[in-house]
Amino acid sequence: MGIEGQERLRAARALVVGAGGLGCPAALYLAAAGIGRLTIADSDKVDLTNLQRQILYRTDSVGAVKVEAARDALNAVNPDVQVTPLQKRLTGEDAASLVSRVDVVLDCSDNFVTRHALNRACVAAKKPLVAGAAIRFDAQLMVFDFRQADSPCYSCLFPEDSQVEEVQCSVMGVFAPLTGAIGAMQAMEAIKLVAQVGESAKGKLQIFDALRAEWRSVKVAKDPACVVCGKS
Ligand SMILES: [Zn+2]
């Protein structure tokens, strides 16, 4: 990355939404790599049954507020990172004001309401969004760089009004190392974006099938009729 890339990383602010299976490894790599400031948002407390994938926590943090335990763990790795814990589930308004204050957003959440709120906020503020998702043995990684006018958005791919059945890890379960892999890739793409190195994975949906150990990459085009980004 070079000195310049390191300096850009140190000056950068990231928002990680969700301190679970994706958010833990993503935040850990961002902090260890030396990102300047990191806000981490989640409303939950640490649960024993999630420790196999929520790798920032230990058995003695069970019952603690996740984002506070996360801050302590991140600062134990790198005390120079300014971590802001936010114990709440983000709404549209919160998302807009938080997103406007950072350089990159990592969607590590587990529900469509948060995903769409973050997408809208990132489109409006023209901030890059790195979205990850994992369920059972299947995962997805998407990068949207709204600094570029022709970028598709999350809603181009999964329209806000579509009747998708929501399946959450809390119900269906997820293969723990898979969330680790996707969370680490989210950190990787976020670091590349703020340090301005390489080419981001933007404009494509990457799908990983852990059972077959196979990646697929699908090009995503901007939908001119998209209710979120179509008119911009
Ligand atoms: Zn769109």
Helix (H, G, I), strand (E, B) or coil at 202: strand
**CA 229 / ligand 1 centre spacing (Å):** 4
156-188 pLDDT per residue, tens: 999 888 777 776 666 778 999 999 999 999 999
103-139 pLDDT per residue, tens: 999 999 999 999 999 999 999 999 999 999 999 999 9
Q: What is the pTM of this model?
A: 0.96
**Contact indicator for 189, 141 with CB cutoff of 8 Å:** yes
**CA 85 / ligand 1 centre spacing (Å):** 30
**CA 112 / ligand 1 centre spacing (Å):** 15
Mean pLDDT of 202-206: 90
Long-range pairs of 210-215 with CB within 8 A, sequence gap ≥ 24: 210/137, 210/138, 210/139, 210/175, 210/177, 210/178, 211/137
**CA 155 / ligand 1 centre spacing (Å):** 5
Distance CA 212, CA 46 (A): 31
39-59 pLDDT per residue, tens: 999 999 999 999 999 999 999
**Contact indicator for 142, 118 with CB cutoff of 8 Å:** no
**CA 52 / ligand 1 centre spacing (Å):** 35
